[in-house]
């Protein structure tokens, strides 16, 4: 079977591993250059071609994957100067970013008039899973479109879950990240409270690990808490705040009281406001400790 040409924008922590799996599994791949040249040069050494802007990438591609920060970056790459749409050709665009669902559905409608299709396919798990090709993908789109791109998604994912029409993938991703950012905030405060009472993080872990409150997120979080491994969970506090802000907007749009979401968002907003936006999520435990006069 002839493989479609794939364009990939956003070869950062998650995108590099995804793109690596695509090119190594035989997909013709064009990538958009990035200020961090290391992943770009690595992918080129594996057979990828580099484009100079989204328009050139679109001209070389049938399917374009976006793995960028959020909705503003998605819109800029699609509709901005020399954006994907300036190539004036029908494309299937897969947004793997964590985006605002309301923006996704509006953008999908606009693109359909131009003959292109936008579906949302946000990601679960970590950059290590991206490298291993074992990500979770929540994909929103028509059954026919999802069936068409499933082999592409299977190249870097071990679980592909069709959530419904376009926009539902990003909605489910926000709910997923609400849970994970909520856990991050709870762990940080529980550790600080335990420390105030003389319970060390090692003792805390010996009780939680292997019990009912253990989970994969807990384990990567505690690789920082216990081992000070900065690579264990590469997701910044700034991105966590962005996702919780999207969640607040979504809750407001449907008229839902969301007090837990507001509390979690404020925890992240405090950390970012203190200048820790580029720190990773498990480092929230240190920030909460610092706010309470502890290391």
- Chain-centre distance for alpha carbon 249: 18
Please, are residues 102 and 253 in contact by the beta-carbon 8 Å criterion?
yes
How many Cβ atoms from other residues are within 10 Å of residue 35's Cβ? 5
**What single string gives the DSSP state of each residue in 273-292?**
IIIITTSBGGGHHHHHHHHT
pLDDT at 291: 94
Q: Which alpha helices (H) appear in the chain, and where do they start and end?
A: 13-24, 37-45, 54-59, 71-79, 101-113, 127-132, 143-154, 168-196, 201-208, 216-227, 237-253, 259-271, 284-291
Q: How confident is the model at residue 35 (pLDDT cuts 50, 70, 90)?
A: confident
Residue ranges of domains in the chain, CATH in brackets: 6-164 (3.40.50.720), 171-291 (1.10.1040.10)
pLDDT at 1: 60
Please, are residues 161 and 198 in contact by the beta-carbon 8 Å criterion?
no
pLDDT at 166: 96
In percent, the amount of the chain with pLDDT more than 90 equals: 89
Mean pLDDT over 58-66 rounds to 97
Tokens 């992943």, residue located:
39
- How many Å from the N-terminal Cα to the C-terminal Cα in the chain? 58
Q: How confident is the model at residue 2 (pLDDT cuts 50, 70, 90)?
A: confident
Handedness of CA 186, 233, 280, 262 (dihedral sign): negative
SS3 assignment, position 52: coil
Mean pLDDT over 200-215 rounds to 97
Please, are residues 14 and 130 in contact by the beta-carbon 8 Å criterion?
yes
**pLDDT tens digits for range 121-180:** 999 998 999 999 999 999 999 999 999 999 999 999 999 999 999 999 999 999 999 999
Q: What is the DSSP letter of 236?
A: B
């Amino acid at each position: 079977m002839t493989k479609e040409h794939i364009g990939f924008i956003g070869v950062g922590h998650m995108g590099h591993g995804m793109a690596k799996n695509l090119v190594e599994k035989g997909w013709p791949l064009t990538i958009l250059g990035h200020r961090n040249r290391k992943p770009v040069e690595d992918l080129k050494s594996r057979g990828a071609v580099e484009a100079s802007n989204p328009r050139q990438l679109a001209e070389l591609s049938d399917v374009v994957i976006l793995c960028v920060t959020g909705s503003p970056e998605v819109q800029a790459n699609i509709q901005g100067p020399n954006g994907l749409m300036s190539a004036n050709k029908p494309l299937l665009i897969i947004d793997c970013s964590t985006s605002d669902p309301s923006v996704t559905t509006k953008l999908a409608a606009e693109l359909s008039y131009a003959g292109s299709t936008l579906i949302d396919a946000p990601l679960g798990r970590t950059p290590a899973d991206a490298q291993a090709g074992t990500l979770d993908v929540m994909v929103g789109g028509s059954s026919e479109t999802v069936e068409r791109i499933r082999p592409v998604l299977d190249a870097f994912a071990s679980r592909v879950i069709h959530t419904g029409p376009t926009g539902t993938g990003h909605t489910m991703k926000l709910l997923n990240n609400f849970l994970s950012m909520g856990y991050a905030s709870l762990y940080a405060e529980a550790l600080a409270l335990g420390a105030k009472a003389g319970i060390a993080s090692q003792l805390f872990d010996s009780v939680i690990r292997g019990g009912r409150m253990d989970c994969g997120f807990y384990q990567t979080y505690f690789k920082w808490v216990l081992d000070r491994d900065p690579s264990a969970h590469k997701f910044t506090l700034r991105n966590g705040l962005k996702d919780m802000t999207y969640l607040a907007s979504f809750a407001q749009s449907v008229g839902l009281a969301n007090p837990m979401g507001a509390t979690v968002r404020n925890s992240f907003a405090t950390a970012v406001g203190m200048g820790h936006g580029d720190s990773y999520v498990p480092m929230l435990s240190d920030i909460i400790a610092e706010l309470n006069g502890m290391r």
